[in-house]
Amino acid sequence: MKHSNGKQTITQTDVAELAGVSRSIVSYVINNGPRQVAPETRERVLEAIKQLEYRPNKNAQRLSSTTESIAEKYIVIVLAHDYMFRRPYYGAILASIHDHAHQHDLHIRFIRIFEDFKNPALFNELIHSDEIGGAVLLGLDQAISTPQDETMITKIVERMERVVCVEWEWPGISSVSFDRQLAAYQAASHLFDKGYQRVAYIGPEDKRLQGYRQAIWEHQAQIDDRLIHFAINPESGFDECHKLLQVGVQFDAICAGTDELSIGVLKCLYDAGLRVPQDVGIASIDNIDISAYTIPSLTTVDVPKDEIGRQVVAALLADDSQISDISISVRTTLIQRNSTMR
Instruction: Check: pTM over 0.85? Answer yes or no.
Output: no
Domain assignment of residue 166, yes or no: yes
In a domain, 120, yes or no: yes
136: in domain: yes
* 236 in a structural domain: yes
Residues 266 and 280 in one domain: yes
- The more confidently predicted of residues 59 and 99 is 99
Range of the domain at 9: 1-54
Highest mean pLDDT among 40-49, 62-71, 298-307: 298-307
Per-residue HEC secondary structure of the chain comes to: CECCCCCECCCHHHHHHHHCCCHHHHHHHHHCCCCCCCHHHHHHHHHHHHHHCCCCCCCCCCCHHHHHHHHCCEEEEEECCHHHHCCHHHHHHHHHHHHHHHHCCCEEEEEEEHHHHHCHHHHHHHCCCCCCCEEEEECHHHCCCCHHHHHHHHHHHHHCCEEEEECCCCCCCEEEEECHHHHHHHHHHHHHHCCCCCEEEEECCCHHHHHHHHHHHHCCCCCCHHHEEECCCHHHHHHHHHHHHHHCCCCCEEEECCHHHHHHHHHHHHHCCCCCCCCCEEEEEECCHHHHCCCCCCEEEECCHHHHHHHHHHHHCCCHHHCCCCEEEECCEEECCHHHCC
Do 240 and 280 fall within a single domain?
yes
324: pLDDT strictly greater than 70? no
Answer whether residue 194 is part of any domain. yes
Residues 184 and 88 in one domain: no
**Same domain for 48 and 69?**
no
Residue 4's pLDDT is 42
* Residues 65, 49 within the same domain: no
CATH number at residue 13: 1.10.260.40
195 & 294 share domain:
yes
Q: Are residues 289 and 198 in the same domain?
A: yes
Does residue 296 belong to any structural domain of this protein?
yes
Q: Are residues 29 and 64 in the same domain?
A: no
User: Each residue of 214-240: pLDDT tens digit?
Assistant: 999 999 888 999 999 999 999 999 999
| pLDDT tens per residue across span 177-206 | 999 999 999 999 999 999 999 999 999 999
> CATH number of the domain that 113 lies in?
3.40.50
| pLDDT computed for residue 69 by the predictor | 59
Q: What is the pLDDT of residue 60?
A: 44
End of a domain among 145, 171, 197? 171
Asked whether residue 38 falls in the same domain as residue 90, the answer is no
- Indicate if the pLDDT at residue 119 is higher than 80: yes
Computed over every residue of the chain, the mean pLDDT equals 89
Of 154, 171, 188, the residue that ends a domain is: 171
- Determine the average pLDDT of the residues in 298-312: 98
Domain boundary among 54, 81, 97: 54
Query: Does residue 289 belong to any structural domain of this protein?
Result: yes
- Give the model's pLDDT for residue 128: 80
190/290 same-domain check: yes
Answer whether residue 158 shows pLDDT above 90. no
Number of folded domains in the chain? 3
The CATH number of residue 199's host domain is: 3.40.50.2300
CB atoms within 10 A of CB 258: 26
Higher per-residue pLDDT: 342 or 70: 342
Reported residue count of the chain is 342
Confidence of residue 2 (pLDDT cuts 50, 70, 90): very low
Comparing 64 with 205, which gets the higher pLDDT?
A: 205
User: 157 and 46, same structural domain?
Assistant: no
Considering the domain architecture, whether residues 214 and 116 belong to the same structural domain is answered as no
In a domain, 240, yes or no: yes
Q: Given this model, what pLDDT does residue 121 score?
A: 86
